[in-house]
Chains A and B, each alone.
Chain A
Amino acid sequence: KAGVTQTPRYLIKTRGQQVTLSCSPISGHRSVSWYQQTPGQGLQFLFEYFSETQRNKGNFPGRFSGRQFSNSRSEMNVSTLELGDSALYLCASSLGTGKREQYFGPGTRLTVT
């Protein structure tokens, strides 16, 4: 089975721009979660989608948004980028029910200049 894939792997953007990151979950997985990893804050939960509905949301400003499509693929969007948004953005998928383990993709490294 193919793992979680994320595109692009690396991205450089300028302050004030917006960015969209994409995640394709493991086949059959219906839940997708997004996390931000920074050296100072570690891994922080952004949001979780299950069957196209946001099921949980972390403590991030409204500039961070996401969505999930009917094929379980997910995108997250960050508008009006700030320097502090530079981070590794990780996507994780799971079955969504029953087994609770999440499986992570390799991440998208976003650099805001």
Chain B
Amino acid sequence: DQQVKQNSPSLSVQEGRISILNCDYTNSMFDYFLWYKKYPAEGPTFLISISSIKDKNEDGRFTVFLNKSAKHLSLHIVPSQPGDSAVYFCAARVNQAGTALIFGKGTTLSVSS
């Protein structure tokens, strides 16, 4: 059973507009969430994270929102740039004893100029 779900396999956005990537989770015990970006033939790159005690975290063009009651988080990229085209993974920490992560299956973002 998938505990972290990214229901949209792909998203296409025009340069300069907002990209919104969504993620749902089922385990209410998850306490830390992260977003990673992955280019082909490379390992995932850490983007931004959020603790379950917060509902928003910003870092430059990237903002992550967490809605605990809905078990939903989203990543907003504003403004979107062609270099943002990649696969985006949502992840949740397995347990508080470590740093291991459970990943969603990813959303491929395409930003056109």
Contacts and interface: CB of A to CB of B under 8 A. Distances in A.
B105 interface: yes
A33 B43 contact: no
A50 B100 CA distance: 11
Interface size for chain B: under 10, 10 to 19, 20 to 34, or 35 or more residues? Answer: 20 to 34
A41 B32 CA distance: 22
Interface string B49-73: 1000000000000000000000000
Nearest to A103: B46
Interface size for chain A: under 10, 10 to 19, 20 to 34, or 35 or more residues? Answer: 20 to 34
Contacts of A96: 98-99
B89 interface: yes
A33 B100 contact: yes
A45 B100 contact: yes
Contacts, number: 70
A31 B45 contact: no
Contacts of B34: 100-102
A105 interface: yes
A105 B45 CA distance: 9
B100 A42 contact: no
B44 A33 contact: no
B103 interface: yes
Interface string A74-113: 0000000000000000101010100011111111000000
Given A42-B104, A43-B89, A43-B103, A102 B98 contact: no
4 shortest A-B CB distances, which residue pairs?
A: A104-B43, A43-B103, A42-B105, A48-B100
Interface of A: 4, 31, 33, 35, 41-45, 47-48, 50, 55-56, 58, 90, 92, 94, 96, 100-107
